[in-house]
């Protein structure tokens, strides 16, 4: 089981590295799905001195994702 986790982590690291090399990607935020806690931040947003700014931005992203999830769940219930 540990090997599977290691492979998954390596794949995630490779994906994040590829994303960060794209010219149109300015920052990468990895958030915990249930709480929105910041797991990792990099790029322009992480280079800024204010940790509060990163937390504020992550909160907005997480709220957006949760709202989209609620919208989709609501649409599925109506069908």
Dump pLDDT digits (tens) for 8-67.
888 888 999 999 899 999 888 899 989 999 998 888 877 766 778 889 999 999 999 999
Yes or no: say if 30 and 42 are a contact pair by the CB < 8 Å rule. no
State the distance between the two ends of the chain, measured CA to CA, in whole angstroms: 39
Strand partners, 31: 38
Secondary structure (DSSP) of 1-34: -HHHHHHHHHHHHHHHHHHHHSTT--EEEEE-TT
Report the 10 Å Cβ neighbour count for 59.
13
Model pLDDT, residue 77:
86
Domain boundaries defined on the chain:
2-78
């Amino acid at each position: 089981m540990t090997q599977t986790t290691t492979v998954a982590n390596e794949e995630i690291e490779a994906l994040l590295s590829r994303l960060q090399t794209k010219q149109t990607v300015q920052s990468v935020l990895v958030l915990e799905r249930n709480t929105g806690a910041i797991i990792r931040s990099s790029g322009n947003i992480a280079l800024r001195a204010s940790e509060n700014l990163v937390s504020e931005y992550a909160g907005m992203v997480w709220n957006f994702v949760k709202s989209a999830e609620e919208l989709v769940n609501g649409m599925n219930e109506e069908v």
